[in-house]
């Protein structure tokens, strides 16, 4: 049975335990009276207790820069608790043992703990993901998927990002979520259980990308959720429920992380006719933040990390660009934030470059610097990097910018075609 015990309760339990042991071992405090005998009765001997009192396990979980880590799961001998906002924890354990600290998106730590250590500080680190996108075509083709496994084995790639719901609303596996089936959204391309098993055997971290609000299939089924064009209204709580149901199913299938894409209001012409620009920035941001908060509330207890993709331009602007995306608010609700840093998408003149696409390192590094200054403490930055329209050396330059910034990365290519020469090996990344 899992138990959560506060530090106050720990103290009370210890006092109660000590009091009971003292009472049991002291024997009678007075002789019983007798009218039939003048002899002194022999006091009953109380055998010593063999049950040891529980021991207090207390400490603090911190990150690489000694910052407190909130919400980490702390477990010893089946008894669990979570760290508070200050990183502190406390519980009672029946005996010394292995202390396990885990948090979705972070590397799990196990340490031997004994009662001689009154207070333990445990450092954990965010998982550094170096991933590639595995599109439906790649996941559904055995030969193609095997090539990607070989690519991961020969390079620094340690994560795969699969699509389970793509642009337009198509669900790419045999989902059992009723609204997906009823709306005709289910079109199986691959068996996620099979691919997840293969990925796990290869030691890969697994993420699924779920396109949230770009969903014309859902609109045909539930027209009242429509915002404009093929976009669901990000304020619609029934649209939230649908996407979260798919996310819960994906977590149950075995994905380590759920990544929401198109988690925003629409851009371009659709934005001008949707009415979203008549909303305040606070209203737009609250809609996206509320969705992510609800998703995380459902998924985190299941052990799945939650991440979100955002436009990279919002990292370098004060406002939400009409999209409902600001890094400060959104990063409070996710374990990782993935801005799409594609220099080909920046306008001429950005950072003084006539063609930003010709400057992969500089544009990528600047976006990462802007993001790190604005993220909520404890949130992982993990940008999508451009793996299209570039040479292998240019892709490597963008990767190097991420590595120099101390963050992970994911490569985007719509067809999942990756040149091994564009991706460094583990040895190259660790070379002095």
Where residue 53 falls among pLDDT bands split at 50, 70, 90?
Answer: low
**Same domain as 117, residue 261:** no
pTM: 0.86
CB 368 within 8 A of CB 384: no
Where residue 45 falls among pLDDT bands split at 50, 70, 90?
Answer: low
Question: What is the pLDDT averaged over residues 333-359?
Answer: 97
Question: What is the pLDDT averaged over residues 78-87?
Answer: 93
Task: Identify which has the larger pLDDT, 25 or 340.
Answer: 340
**Same domain as 270, residue 185:** yes
Rounded to whole angstroms, the Cα distance separating 169 from 171 reads: 6
Where residue 117 falls among pLDDT bands split at 50, 70, 90?
Answer: confident
Domain for residue 265, yes or no? yes
* CA-atom Rg of the chain in angstroms: 28
Domain for residue 36, yes or no? no
**Same domain as 156, residue 74:** no
Token reading at 267: 């851009």
Report long-range pairs for 183-189 (Cβ below 8 Å, ≥24 apart).
183/217, 183/218, 183/220, 183/221, 183/222, 184/217, 184/221, 185/217, 185/218, 185/221, 189/136, 189/137, 189/139, 189/140
Q: End of a domain among 92, 125, 158?
A: 125
| Of residues 150, 153, 162, 159, the one with CA closest to residue 131 | 159
Domain for residue 15, yes or no? no
**Same domain as 267, residue 345:** yes
Does residue 18 have a pLDDT over 50? no
**Same domain as 212, residue 107:** no
**Same domain as 139, residue 88:** no
Domain for residue 23, yes or no? no
What pLDDT shows up at residue 48?
A: 55
Q: Which domain holds residue 183?
A: 130-430
Crossing angle of the two packed helices 192-201 and 142-154, in degrees rounded to 10:
20
**Same domain as 85, residue 168:** no
* CATH number where 397 lies: 3.20.20.80
What pLDDT shows up at residue 336?
A: 97
**Same domain as 252, residue 265:** yes
| Total domain count, the chain | 2
Domain for residue 63, yes or no? yes
Q: End of a domain among 109, 125, 141?
A: 125
Task: Identify which has the larger pLDDT, 96 or 295.
Answer: 295
- Percent of the chain residues topping a pLDDT of 70: 88
Contacts of 169 (CB under 8 A, 6+ apart): 183, 185, 211, 214, 215, 216, 217, 218
**Same domain as 137, residue 121:** no
Q: Please write the tens of the pLDDT for every residue from 158-178.
A: 999 999 999 999 999 999 999
Rounded to whole angstroms, the Cα distance separating 33 from 11 reads: 39
Task: Identify which has the larger pLDDT, 160 or 38.
Answer: 160
Question: What is the pLDDT averaged over residues 241-256?
Answer: 98
**Same domain as 218, residue 254:** yes
* CATH number where 5 lies: 2.60.40.1120
Rounded to whole angstroms, the Cα distance separating 324 from 263 reads: 9
Rounded to whole angstroms, the Cα distance separating 342 from 205 reads: 24
Q: Say which residue the tokens 């198109």 belong to.
A: 262
**Same domain as 419, residue 350:** yes
Domain for residue 163, yes or no? yes
CB 276 within 8 A of CB 266: yes
Q: Please write the tens of the pLDDT for every residue from 380-432.
A: 999 999 999 999 999 999 999 999 999 999 999 999 999 999 999 999 998 87
What pLDDT shows up at residue 57?
A: 87
CB 308 within 8 A of CB 337: yes
Does residue 216 have a pLDDT over 90? yes
What pLDDT shows up at residue 11?
A: 40
Q: Please write the tens of the pLDDT for every residue from 120-168.
A: 899 999 999 999 999 999 999 999 999 999 999 999 999 999 999 999 9
Rounded to whole angstroms, the Cα distance separating 286 from 281 reads: 8
Domain for residue 47, yes or no? no
Rounded to whole angstroms, the Cα distance separating 184 from 359 reads: 44
Where residue 14 falls among pLDDT bands split at 50, 70, 90?
Answer: very low
3-state SS assignment for residue 242 = helix
Where residue 47 falls among pLDDT bands split at 50, 70, 90?
Answer: low
Rounded to whole angstroms, the Cα distance separating 133 from 384 reads: 10
Average pLDDT over the chain, rounded to an integer: 89
Does residue 282 have a pLDDT over 50? yes
Q: Report strand pairing: 73-76 vs 79-82.
A: antiparallel
What pLDDT shows up at residue 113?
A: 85
Between the CA of residue 159 and those of 85, 130, 145, 208, 313, what are the distances in Å? 30, 6, 13, 11, 25
Q: Please write the tens of the pLDDT for every residue from 177-204.
A: 999 999 999 999 999 999 999 999 999 9
Buried b (16+ CB within 10 A) or exposed e, 85-115: eebebbbbbeebbebbbbbbbbeebeeebee
Q: Taking the mean position of all CA atoms in its chain, how far away is CA 281?
A: 26
Q: End of a domain among 93, 125, 157?
A: 125
Domain for residue 261, yes or no? yes
**Same domain as 310, residue 256:** yes
């Amino acid at each position: 049975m899992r138990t959560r015990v506060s530090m106050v309760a720990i103290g009370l339990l210890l006092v109660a335990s000590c009091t009971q042991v003292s009472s049991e071992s002291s024997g009678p405090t007075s002789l019983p009276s007798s009218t039939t005998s003048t002899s002194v009765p022999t006091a009953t001997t109380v055998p010593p207790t063999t049950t040891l009192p529980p021991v207090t396990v207390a400490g603090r979980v911190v990150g690489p820069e000694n910052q407190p880590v909130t919400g980490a799961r702390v477990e010893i001998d089946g008894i669990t608790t979570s760290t508070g906002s200050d990183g502190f924890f406390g519980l009672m354990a029946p005996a010394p043992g292995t202390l396990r600290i885990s948090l979705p998106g972070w590397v799990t730590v196990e340490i031997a703990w004994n009662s001689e250590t009154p207070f333990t500080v445990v450092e954990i680190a965010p998982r550094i993901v170096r991933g590639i996108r595995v599109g439906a075509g790649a996941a559904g083709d055995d030969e193609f998927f095997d090539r990607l496994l070989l690519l991961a084995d020969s390079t620094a790639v340690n994560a795969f990002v699969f699509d389970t719901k793509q642009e337009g609303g198509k669900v790419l596996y045999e989902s059992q979520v009723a609204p997906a089936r009823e709306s005709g959204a289910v079109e199986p391309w691959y068996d996620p259980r099979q691919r997840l098993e293969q990925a796990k055997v290869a030691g890969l971290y697994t993420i699924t990308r779920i396109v949230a609000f770009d969903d014309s299939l859902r609109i045909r089924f539930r027209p009242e959720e429509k915002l404009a064009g093929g976009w669901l209204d990000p304020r619609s709580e029934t649209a939230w429920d649908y996407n979260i149901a798919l996310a819960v199913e994906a977590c149950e299938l075995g994905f380590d992380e759920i990544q929401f894409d198109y988690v925003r209001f629409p851009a371009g012409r659709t934005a001008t006719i949707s009415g979203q620009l008549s909303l305040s920035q606070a209203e737009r941001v609250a809609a996206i933040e509320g969705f992510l908060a609800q998703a995380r509330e459902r998924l985190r207890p299941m052990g799945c990390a939650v991440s979100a993709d955002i436009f990279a331009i919002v990292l370098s602007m004060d406002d939400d660009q009409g999209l409902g995306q600001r890094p400060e608010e959104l990063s409070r609700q996710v374990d990782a934030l993935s801005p799409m840093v594609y220099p080909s998408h920046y306008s001429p003149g950005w950072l003084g470059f006539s063609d930003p696409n010709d400057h992969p390192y500089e544009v990528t590094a600047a976006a990462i610097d802007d993001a790190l200054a604005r993220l909520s403490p404890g949130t992982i930055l993990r940008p999508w990097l451009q793996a299209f329209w570039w040479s292998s050396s240019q892709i490597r330059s963008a990767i190097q910018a991420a590595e120099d910034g101390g963050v992970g990365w994911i490569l985007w290519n719509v067809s999942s075609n990756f040149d091994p020469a564009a991706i460094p090996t583990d040895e190259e990344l660790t070379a002095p």
